[in-house]
Amino acid sequence: VLLIPVFDGASALQRSLATVAADEESFDVLVVDDGSREPVVLPARVGCHETTVLRHDENRGVAHALNTGLEWILARGYDAVARLDAGDLNEPGRMAAQR
């Protein structure tokens, strides 16, 4: 699973997700919206990747957003986690190389 925290960065997140969509390795994407003024809304899939959005009601900081995401990930038994900040670009093949 790819964990992406975001706060008030919808356009930066969209740039990141465009590069994620280009990756042909199948993995899930979890976005933690850390209380953005305009809530993050995503399609169910980006490329071949299923997306999930968790939302904090208020901004609590990136560490809290990451911990929220990790709790969700661990509860579902994923065996690997990668992280990407909103606005960063995902190199195609990154997940396969890291796996």
pLDDT at 98: 86
Confidence of residue 71 (pLDDT cuts 50, 70, 90): very high
For the beta carbon of residue 8, count every other beta carbon within 10 angstroms: 16
Taking only the tens place, the pLDDT of each residue in 2-18 is 999 999 999 999 999 99
Verdict on whether the full-model pTM lies above 0.85: yes
Taking only the tens place, the pLDDT of each residue in 17-61 is 999 999 998 999 999 999 999 999 999 999 999 999 999 999 999
CA dihedral (35, 37, 43, 48) in degrees, to 10, reads -50
Q: Are 29 and 17 in contact (CB under 8 A)?
A: yes
Q: Are 33 and 6 in contact (CB under 8 A)?
A: yes
Taking 90 as the threshold, does the pLDDT of residue 69 lie above it? yes
